[in-house]
Amino acid sequence: MNCARTNVLKWGRGLALCMLLLVATVIQGWAQGIDIRTCDPNGSAYEAYFCLDDIIVVDGSGYNYDQTTRSGGVYLIKPDTGNQKPISTGGYLNQGAFLTLEPGTSKILVSSRTYGVIRIDPADGSQEVLLKGGTGWGTFQTFQDAAHGNVAESFIYPAGITIDGMDGSIMVVDAGINLLSTTVDPAGNPNCTNSSDVMTCEALPGKIIRIQRPYGAGVGVYDLSTGVSVMSKGGSLSRPFSIVADLNGSQYVTSMSAKLGGVDDPGKGGIVFVDALNAYAQSTFFSSYLNNPSATGCPMGLGTDHNTTIYFSVFSYNGFGCVTNPNQGVYTLTLDPWGVNPPTLATVITGTPMAYPFGMDADRNGRIVIADEASGYGCAGTIFRYDPSQPIMRVYDPGWTISNLNPYALSPKVGLGCSPPNQSWLGTPSNVIVVKVHGVNIYH
């Protein structure tokens, strides 16, 4: 049984078997890691684990280091060749869904839907559990909410993860979706009424959790006894998934089933703004229902250029998302620089060759790097790169070179089959980050 990418039936009736397998085999990651190398952007050399424009991918069902089983992992992808290199696989990375870079260090922070917030050391691939969450522990893990009198809070379904640009704290989303086979309903009703639709599972209030990074405690030191708190809970955070933060520490969160368009909204979701400058108050940034729900409903992935543009992705799979071909793809919301008018919605790219486009990040040239959990080319998960400044080119034209395809399948590289050498570790990649700040990851 593949416990990594599965339908709700397997999460329900088959979860006990998955749990036994995970407890028995997923104790620590494979010994691996990557080497420090010399980066040379514009003739200014420096030593680092990651160079500018490197792509780092999390894949909850990617192949392990020796490619014998699919147990999830984090992988480095070279932006020129598309070659993949495992950084850390197995261990606590099963169902890894989102990732970010820890500021001031070379470490990677991963949100695993099975195990919680995991910290990866690229030197040896070792994994540290920062905050337990998800179903991998046999029951929902709790933490003491330092912002509300140290009351106990559950960490049910780890989802998006990002960094607060103001103080370097970690912010992680709890989607609140109950996938445990033991129901919390006193009447004994099942958690999921439709085995093929996660949207029919019990949805507890979503939340944004902060893991505070205290000042003066050293680089990368967290106080989990007093430094974990809930920033925002419930309200419009209905099955929230992805999160990005602006430079003021406020957050944008995709809320998959919130009724953001008023009482007539059937629950098509959208994007919620959580205002750090106003006691983390929630407001509607974008409503799918008010902006063509057939095309933009139930947004999942989220990205930003930290300037004027928010990116989001839509698709449909096992109830995640609600948009099908030909509208699955990526859209943008451009902010009004004066903050007066609503954001302007525009289509980036929809339809083939993308199938389940999820997480994304913009590179330094304004191109959008997209993690697609499948591929219109018939391969497993694929990393696409789309250049908004160039025309869309979906089908290879003999009058062009294959590199003119836009979006371009970077890994596995288009034209080389589904398993080119050094490019066959990915299974269902769900999130991607592009290294854009030189030198932030020199220190270990």
Spell out the domain ranges in the chain. 8-434
The C-alpha angle with vertex 254 and arms to 251 and 257, in degrees rounded to 5, equals 140
Among 247, 253, 212, 248, which Cα is nearest to 234's? 253
| Burial grade of 429 (CB within 10 A; 0-12, 13-18, 19 or more) | buried
Closest CA to 442 of 48, 35, 108, 76: 48
Strand duo 316-317 + 320-321: pairing: antiparallel
Gap between the Cα atoms of 386 and 406, Å rounded = 6
**Tokens read off for 80:** 């020129």
Residues of the chain with pLDDT under 70: 1-31, 181-190, 195, 214-220, 396-400, 438-444
CB-based contacts of 43: which residues, under 8 Å, 6+ apart? none
Position 9 scores a pLDDT of 29
Sequential DSSP letters for 27-55: SSBPS-----EEE-GGG--EEESS-TT-E
Cβ–Cβ contacts within 10 Å for residue 337, how many?
A: 9
CA distance 378 to 400: 22
Give the residue from 208, 211, 150, 205 showing the smallest Cα distance to 178: 205
First to last CA, the chain: 38
Domain 8-434 = CATH 2.120.10.30 = yes
DSSP string, 85-153: EEEEEBGGGTTEEEEEEPTTSS-EEEEETTTEEEEE-TTT--EEEEEE-SSTTSS-EEEEEGGGTTEEE
CA–CA dist 326, 340 (Å, integer): 33
Sequence-separated (6 or more) residues with CB below 8 Å from residue 356: 315, 317, 328, 372, 373, 374, 428
